[in-house]
């Protein structure tokens, strides 16, 4: 019983550190500005779903600095997008554009 406070503290630190890792993106996210969702799967694959358009499959990986790289196959070429967790949202930015996604499921990082 005397080890319970130490174990509880270690567990809380592990959970907190885990939430800051890119794997915290696993789940479904929605863009509140567009009818679009993005789903990150634990096997490092994912899919963009936009209403009335074909889905776009991608693979993703943590670039070790908190940035997540998404490699999307479009018309025979691979385009890389970069995003990161920012205040509870997943933000993809580049080429002067920015898309913000909010978590849609109950899976937490």
Domains identified in the chain, total number: 1
65-80 pLDDT tens trace: 889 999 998 889 999 9
State the residue range of the domain holding 90: 4-103
Is 109 within a domain? no
Per-residue confidence (pLDDT) for residue 23, from 0 to 100: 73
Question: Is 60 exceeded by the pLDDT of residue 61?
Answer: yes
Is 108 within a domain? no
Q: How many CA atoms lie within 13 A of 44 on its CB side?
A: 10
Is the pTM higher than 0.75? no
Handedness of CA 20, 91, 42, 105 (dihedral sign): positive
3-25 pLDDT tens trace: 333 333 332 322 333 334 557 89
Cβ 85 vs Cβ 24: under 8 Å: yes
Report the CATH number at residue 40.
2.40.128.640
Per-residue confidence (pLDDT) for residue 66, from 0 to 100: 87
């Amino acid at each position: 019983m005397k080890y319970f406070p130490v174990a509880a503290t270690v567990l809380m630190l592990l959970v907190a550190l885990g939430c800051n890792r890119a794997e915290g993106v696993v789940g479904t996210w929605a863009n509140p500005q567009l009818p679009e969702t993005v789903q990150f799967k634990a096997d490092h694959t994912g899919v963009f779903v936009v209403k009335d358009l074909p889905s776009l499959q991608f693979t993703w990986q943590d670039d070790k600095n908190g940035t997540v790289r998404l490699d999307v196959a479009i018309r025979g070429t691979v385009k890389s997008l970069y995003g990161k967790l920012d205040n509870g949202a997943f933000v993809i930015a580049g080429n002067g554009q920015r898309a913000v996604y909010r978590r849609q499921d109950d899976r937490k990082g």
